[in-house]
Amino acid sequence: MLKATKLALAATGMILAAAPALAQTVPLIERAKLFGNPEKTGARLSPDGKWISFIAPRDGVLNVWVAPASDPAAAKPLTAEKTRPIRTSFWAPDSSQILYVNDKGGDENFRLYGVAVTGGEARDYTPFDKVRVEPMGVSPLIRDRILIGLNNRDPRWHDVHSLDLKTGKLTLVMQNDGYGAFMADDALNVRLASRPRADGGDDWFPVTANKVGTTPIVSYGLDDSLTTQPLGFTTDGKTLYWADSRDRDTGAIVAEDAAGKATVVAQDARVDLGGGLFNPKTGVIEAYEQEYLKSEYVPVGDAVKADLAFLKAQNKGEFTVTSRTDADDKWLIAFDAVNAPAATYVYDRRAKTLTLLYVSRPALVGAPLVPMHPMVIKSRDGLDLVSYLTLPKGADANGDGKADKPVPMVLFVHGGPWGRDGYGYNSYHQWMANRGYAVLSVNFRASTGFGKKFLAAGNMEWGKKMHDDLLDATAWAVQQGVTTKDKIAIMGGSYGGYATLAGVAFTPDAFACGVDIVGPSNLNTLLAAIPPYWEAGKQQMYRRMGNPTTPEGQAILKDRSPLFAADKITKPLLIGQGANDPRVNVRESDQIVDAMKAKNIPVTYVVFPDEGHGFARPVNNIAFNAVTENFLAGCLGGRAEPVGDALKASTAEVRHGAEFVKGLTPTPAQPATGE
Active site residues: 494, 581, 613
- How far is 241 from 462, CA to CA, in rounded Å? 33
Amino acid at the residue 103: D
CA distances from 348 to 93, 310, 323 (A): 21, 11, 12
* Contact in structure between 225 and 536 (CB atoms under 8 Å): no
Buried b / exposed e over 295-332, threshold 16 CB at 10 Å, is bebebbeebbeebbeebeeeebbbbbbebbbeebebbb
Element (H, E) at 434: helix 427-434
Report the candidate in 132, 122, 140 with the shortest Cα–Cα distance to residue 63.
122
- How far is 570 from 13, CA to CA, in rounded Å? 9
CA dihedral 528, 533, 536, 537 (to 10 degrees): -50
Which residue intervals of 435-464 are DSSP H helices?
452-456
* Contact in structure between 542 and 481 (CB atoms under 8 Å): no
Amino acid at the residue 192: L
Report the candidate in 105, 148, 145, 146 with the shortest Cα–Cα distance to residue 129.
105
* Contact in structure between 291 and 422 (CB atoms under 8 Å): yes
CA distances from 264 to 188, 257, 273, 620 (A): 26, 12, 11, 47
- How far is 371 from 336, CA to CA, in rounded Å? 11
**Which residues have C-beta within 8 Å of that of residue 614, sequence separation ≥ 6?**
106, 493, 494, 517, 518, 578
* Contact in structure between 483 and 405 (CB atoms under 8 Å): no
Handedness of CA 168, 174, 178, 181 (dihedral sign): negative
Neighbours of 647 (CB within 10 A): 23
Strand stretches in 401-534, DSSP E: 409-413, 438-442, 488-493, 513-517
**Which residues have C-beta within 8 Å of that of residue 80, sequence separation ≥ 6?**
58, 59, 63, 122
- How far is 139 from 306, CA to CA, in rounded Å? 27
Say if residue 391 is exposed, middle or buried (CB neighbours under 10 Å; 0-12, 13-18, 19+). buried
* Contact in structure between 323 and 316 (CB atoms under 8 Å): no
For the chain, the farthest-separated pair of C-alpha atoms sits apart, in whole angstroms, at: 75
- How far is 451 from 68, CA to CA, in rounded Å? 43
Backbone angles phi, psi at 305, to 5 degrees: -60, -45
